[in-house]
Amino acid sequence: MSSERRVVITGLGATTPLGGSFEQTWEGILAGRSGMRTMDFDWVEEFDMPAKFAALIHTSPEEVLSKVECRRMDPSTQYAMVASKDAWADAGSPEVDPLRFGVAIGTGMGGLHTLLGQWDTLREKGVRRVFPLAVPMLMPNSPSGTVSLNFGARAGAHTTVSACASGAESMGTAYEMIRQGRADIVIAGGTEAAIHPICFAGFCQMQALSTRNDDPQGASRPYDKGRDGFVMGEGAGVMVLESEEHARARGARIYAEFAGIGMSSDAHHITAPEPEGAGASRAMLEAVERAGLTPADIVHVNAHATSTPVGDIAEANAIRRAFRDAADGMAVSGTKSMTGHLLGAAGALEGVFTAKSIADRVAPATINIEDFDEAITLDVVRGSHRELPAGDIAALNNSFGFGGHNVALVIKSI
């Protein structure tokens, strides 16, 4: 493996419930802000939704994209474009060989608003009023295709779909593209715009969402005894990955090394995590091993930690099972306490956070922990963020998706 190319992170971008850029989002993370708010959509009252709040996008994409661009893109593609522009500018907007330039952007749900909005149009107004771009807007590869088109990336544009692991898996796809020599630079990430009544109602019926309606900002509380479900979020997270050689040759600022990825599938239940965490721990160990590291090198975990009663425990058990005593040396952060759960964008956004955590040596706080769940035997960063040690350090980022998908990324200081 040492003969394969090293992959580094040179650009970070986002649009999230905390801000319209990565910089603004990170400011919110360090301040320990919650991105949740009560929804004022008519459908919340119309259908008397059990949960009445979400982590809605902070800044309209129309601040960045033209009106015409927005008309021709589903919100999921709009978010991917905004985050990609942010990351690309952060990487210095380099001139690159289009044939060595790729895209990998995943999504959990695809163009849900377009699909269902155009279905309404068809029924209410007939076939001639259906937008001719309905199909290219609703397809789940629209974000990656649109980004490749706008940035002129011709080495391949990929879309991974694995529910809430989609974004992390796409970063893994980008990493493999570079390692295998298919590309020198890749825009990689995840996007989601699924706060639509049908998706919301489905999660409600699954009893997956927090119904802490009187306190939206306190609703996402991973590892707290009072946690009662996740909070739906939307947005996108994107990073620019490059071969180290390519990045050095152009004098790029390097945040960290994208050092390894591990993947597994539970084959246990379509939604419930395998309670012993066997699959998840295999993914974590594989990522650490592929990075050429040992568990003792990992000082920080950006956990999946969605704030569901069962999920948080299952992941904590998996971390303990994978790393045993070495888990004591890992500062664990649950950033969904602030951003909500961005589904197919979650793993990508948290990958971006993990890169910044390594570069700036800071583990974000997990907010809203008032009554820590003693069943969690991990060192969870509570209250405010914590400094990470000097020297060579590495961090793990976990993502798990319905379907039993487990993805772990390892990011290492350079």
Partner 1 sequence: MASEQEILEGLADIVNEETGIDQGDVQADKSFTDDLDIDSLSMMTIVVNAEEKFGVRIPDDEVKNLKTVGDAVAFIQKSQA
Span near partner 1 by CB under 8 A; candidates 3-11, 61-69, 138-146, 311-319: 61-69
* Residue 128 binds partner 1, judged by CB under 8 A: yes
> Looking at beta carbons only, is 115 or 349 nearer to partner 1?
115
* Residue 132 binds partner 1, judged by CB under 8 A: yes
Whole-angstrom distance, CA of residue 394 vs CA of residue 294 = 10
* Residue 70 binds partner 1, judged by CB under 8 A: no
Whole-angstrom distance, CA of residue 364 vs CA of residue 131 = 43
Is residue 158 among the annotated active site residues? no
Identify the CA nearest to 331 among candidates 356, 298, 286: 298
* Residue 133 binds partner 1, judged by CB under 8 A: yes
Span near partner 1 by CB under 8 A; candidates 67-75, 166-174, 321-329, 388-396: 67-75
CB 69 to partner 1: min, Å: 8
Whole-angstrom distance, CA of residue 226 vs CA of residue 292 = 39
Could you give the 3-state DSSP secondary structure of residue 217? helix
> Looking at beta carbons only, is 129 or 269 nearer to partner 1?
129
Q: Do 283 and 406 touch, CB atoms closer than 8 A? A: yes
> Looking at beta carbons only, is 126 or 391 nearer to partner 1?
126
Say how many residues touch partner 1, by CB under 8 A: 9
Structure tokens given for 29: 């993370």
* Residue 67 binds partner 1, judged by CB under 8 A: yes
* Residue 71 binds partner 1, judged by CB under 8 A: yes
The residue annotated as part of the active site, out of 58, 113, 158, 164, is 164
Residues 6+ positions from 45 with CB-CB distance below 8 Å = none
Is residue 341 among the annotated active site residues? yes
Q: Cβ–Cβ contacts within 10 Å for residue 24, how many?
A: 17
Instruction: Please measure the distance between the N-terminal and C-terminal CA atoms of the chain and give it in whole angstroms.
Output: 18
Q: Do 398 and 165 touch, CB atoms closer than 8 A? A: no
Whole-angstrom distance, CA of residue 40 vs CA of residue 47 = 13
* Residue 120 binds partner 1, judged by CB under 8 A: no
Beta-bridge partners for 243:
7
> Looking at beta carbons only, is 24 or 60 nearer to partner 1?
60
* Residue 66 binds partner 1, judged by CB under 8 A: yes
Is residue 164 among the annotated active site residues? yes
Active site residues: 164, 304, 341
Binding site for partner 1 (CB under 8 A): 66-68, 71, 128-129, 131-133
